[in-house]
Structure 1
Amino acid sequence: MKLTDFNTTEERIEALKEKIVPFIERAQKHDEDGTFPFENFNDLKEIGYPALTIPTEYGGLGISLYEMLRMQETIAKVDGSTALSIGWHMGITKYLGENQIWNEEKYAAFAQDVLKTGALLNNAATEPATGSPTRGGRPETSAKKTTDGWVLNGRKTFTTLAPILDYFVVSASIEASDKVGNFLIKREKNGVEIEETWDSIAMRGTGSHDLVLENVHVNNDDLVQYLTPGNKPAAGWLLHIPACYLGIARAAQEYAIDFASNYSPNSIEGTISDLPNVKQKIGEMELRFMQSQHFLYSVARKWDESSEETREEMKPELGAVKLSVVNQAVEIVDLAMRITGARSLSKQNPLQRYYRDVRAGIHNPPMDDMTIIQLASTSIARQVDSK
């Protein structure tokens, strides 16, 4: 049964929970082996998950940002790598469709591929020399105009979902101009190669390998967007990042509570959950989770209900959510490990994976320093304007 067959958000989330139960055991195996969870994505395709953010006018369900984040958090609770990976496809697909970024015919063709086959897409923007694209570096990947299209050459790092992507949205500098464009490249194009470089100790199952382009020919209309450096619009869809790490934190919290409720050393009566110092940590975890959950989902609802003008004013809020939720998630996992003790470092214990995975969020965009500077500028401007 497809998720589109259900009428409400809660029904779809319950169906999703049932489908992803096997992800729990697979997560440990893929983490240990450093392999990609193809079977997880096949399961998500079976229930039509990749198409949920396709707008209704293109045949999808057009779910709200709030619902998308709820679902992403649900997946992350069982496998952070899978959640973060599919989150990029879900968010970008939503953003492109709602804002009509591409030529309508181009997006419609892509949307049909997602609906029929579960085709997956992600941006390929990061490069060794430029670092994160949020820092504004000009791509070294080049696009040269030909009589019938473009030829692209370059290398992209951190291409999440690389083993299974059907489409790459590649940023490239256009030769003989100061322009930068996004080019849509299908996986089967000659000259497209994946170099398996992903050796991170965190989010090992994301398959974030290097994308190598060698004389890749694309059509004229595969230049889908011109980019304006330093002028990025507000991106509510990027809240899939904190939603992912909140899910990981919830998994760690529940593991620690289960452990504390059942562990009874012979030095005490009852279980360690009765001890004041353990209760203190459990309470601190719950407080951090409540704060994060309310912040994340209140901003998501505001985004869903706001005009485009209001959304553009939400950049500081969006950055603040990411910073706050991710750092709270790191603290929740740390508290869970303090409750569980040294056994949390066992290779067989999921807490050590949660610990490694949750720290990856610190390095996802936007970066903490950029967010703090933006918040400072907003605060100063507000104070000046009020006088």
Structure 2
Amino acid sequence: MHLHSVTTLNERKSILKETVVTFAQRAKQHDEENSFPMENIEDLKKIGYTSLTVPKAYGGQGLTLSEWLPLQELIAQADGSTALSIGWHIGLVSQLAEHSNWPENILHKLFKEIVEDGVLLNAAASEPETGSPTRGGKPTTRAAREGNSWIITGRKSFTSMAPALDYFIVSATMDDEQVGNFLIHKSLTGVKIKETWNSIAMRGTASHDLYLEQVQVPEDAFLEVIHPGNKRPAGWLLHIPACYLGIAQAAEQFAIDFATSYSPNSLQTAIKELPNVQVKIGENEAALLQARYFLYGVAQKWDQISDDEKKQMQSELGSVKYHVVNAAIEIVDRAMRVVGAQSLFKDNAIQRYYRDVRAGLHNPPMDDRTLIQLATEAFNK
């Protein structure tokens, strides 16, 4: 079935659940080989997932934040790398549909290509020299005006889903020292992907380095002026905690299945009957409930308020990411304590969940930035 042919969340979940079964089966191989799950992405394209947040006027479904985040969590339960990778695309499209300073003709063309051709995009903003763009560092990537074109040169890191991307949204410092975003197609001369990704976590995201060597782009490839470190609140970034919440749920289910089936000969029953095991599982269930209420409560608020009110939500959005990711790490840890030493065996998926969930600490916004902002606001009340 196709996701565009149904209208409810439960119907979408049902279709997606059937699709992601193979994602879980492939996850171990991609993790061990440090390879990109291209087949997962193609499967998502086939069911119409990659165009769900495109506005209905352009052939998409125009899903709101609270409508597509649960789908991201579901994908993450099967494979965190796939969820985080496609989340960048889905989220950016969601943001462009909701609020964008981009030229209308560029948006129209891009939305049409996403729906009709299945093109994918992601931002390429991080650089080895500047670190996370949320810290406010100015890009060392340069964009020089040359007649009716721009010549762009630089290197970007953490370019998730690099092998599957058709477009890169590249930040670059221009001749007047302002910073701008440019839309660059993968086919242009001088665009190169170097396979540098070798992390112990989220290995399947293929977050390789993007090299731009004197790439010539047309004048209308310039999208907008941006201000690093001073961006408006972005609700779509909640795809990050949704992903790690999904991984935590997968770890919890692994622990439940293990506790239900494992019965050492020192006991007359499975370890699920032990009070200490029940306490850990109970703590995890409580933490999952709390995290979901916070995540989806804020997502629903975002969907219901005005654009001006959204500008005041930076602290809430950051707090969701802080609480959910740290809760997910604790949930995975407790799940591993239920499983015991077998949780460290490479053949058991829970050790991958342990590695993958920690990557959330290094996705934006960073914990210290969120906490300092909350403290500053508290002191200024």
Shorter-chain TM-score tier: over 0.9
Task: With the length of structure 2 as denominator, give the TM-score of the two structures.
Answer: 0.99
- The CA deviation string for residues 274-328 of structure 1, in whole angstroms up to 9 with x for no partner, is 1111111111111111110110000000000011111111110000000000000
Which AA in structure 2 matches 1:342?
A: A
Secondary structure at the counterpart of residue 164 of structure 2: coil
Task: With the length of structure 1 as denominator, give the TM-score of the two structures.
Answer: 0.97
Residue of structure 2 in register with 1:66 after alignment? 66
Which AA in structure 2 matches 1:17?
A: K
**264-273 vs 251-260, which deviates more?**
264-273
**Distance (whole Å) between structure 1 residues aligned to residue 134 and residue 100 of structure 2:** 22
Secondary structure at the counterpart of residue 60 of structure 1: coil
Report deviation, 1:379: 1.8
Report deviation, 1:138: 0.4
Residue of structure 1 in register with 2:89 after alignment? 89
Q: Is the 8 A contact 2:2 2:48 kept in 1?
A: yes
Which AA in structure 2 matches 1:88?
A: W
Instruction: Report the number of matched residues.
Output: 381
Residue of structure 1 in register with 2:372 after alignment? 373
Report deviation, 1:178: 2.0
Residue of structure 1 in register with 2:113 after alignment? 113
Identical residues among aligned pairs (%):
56
Unaligned segments of structure 1, at least 5 residues: 383-387
Does residue 46 of the first structure (1) align with residue 51 of the second (2)? no
* Superposition CA RMSD, Å: 0.8
**Distance (whole Å) between structure 2 residues aligned to residue 274 and residue 20 of structure 1:** 31
Hey, which bits of structure 1, 4+ residues long, moved more than 6 A?
A: none
Secondary structure at the counterpart of residue 163 of structure 1: helix
Residue of structure 2 in register with 1:194 after alignment? 193
Secondary structure at the counterpart of residue 7 of structure 1: coil
**Distance (whole Å) between structure 2 residues aligned to residue 227 and residue 16 of structure 1:** 36
- The CA deviation string for residues 213-234 of structure 1, in whole angstroms up to 9 with x for no partner, is 0010001110011102332101
- The CA deviation string for residues 34-63 of structure 1, in whole angstroms up to 9 with x for no partner, is 111110000000011110011122221110
Secondary structure at the counterpart of residue 69 of structure 1: helix
Report deviation, 1:2: 1.8
Report deviation, 1:356: 0.3
**Distance (whole Å) between structure 2 residues aligned to residue 358 and residue 221 of structure 1:** 39
**Distance (whole Å) between structure 1 residues aligned to residue 251 and residue 100 of structure 2:** 39
**Distance (whole Å) between structure 1 residues aligned to residue 168 and residue 74 of structure 2:** 26
Secondary structure at the counterpart of residue 60 of structure 2: coil
Residue of structure 2 in register with 1:143 after alignment? 143
Residue of structure 2 in register with 1:341 after alignment? 340
Residue of structure 2 in register with 1:210 after alignment? 209
Which AA in structure 2 matches 1:38?
A: M
**Distance (whole Å) between structure 2 residues aligned to residue 246 and residue 269 of structure 1:** 34
Q: Is the 8 A contact 2:53 2:62 kept in 1?
A: yes
Which AA in structure 2 matches 1:351?
A: I
Does residue 266 of the first structure (1) align with residue 265 of the second (2)? yes
Which AA in structure 2 matches 1:317?
A: E
Which AA in structure 1 matches 2:320?
A: V
Secondary structure at the counterpart of residue 284 of structure 1: helix
Q: Is the 8 A contact 2:168 2:183 kept in 1?
A: yes
Cα gap change, 1:58 to 1:101, in 2 (>3 Å): farther
Q: Is the 8 A contact 2:233 2:311 kept in 1?
A: yes
- The CA deviation string for residues 196-246 of structure 1, in whole angstroms up to 9 with x for no partner, is 000001000001000000010001110011102332101000000000000
TM alignment of 1:260-339, pairs within 5 A: 260-339=259-338
**Distance (whole Å) between structure 2 residues aligned to residue 74 and residue 138 of structure 1:** 36
Q: Is the 8 A contact 2:133 2:229 kept in 1?
A: no
Secondary structure at the counterpart of residue 178 of structure 1: coil
- The CA deviation string for residues 122-161 of structure 1, in whole angstroms up to 9 with x for no partner, is 0000001000000000000000001121000000000001
TM alignment of 1:74-85, pairs within 5 A: 74-85=74-85
Q: Is the 8 A contact 2:262 2:270 kept in 1?
A: yes
Which AA in structure 1 matches 2:61?
A: L
Residue of structure 2 in register with 1:132 after alignment? 132
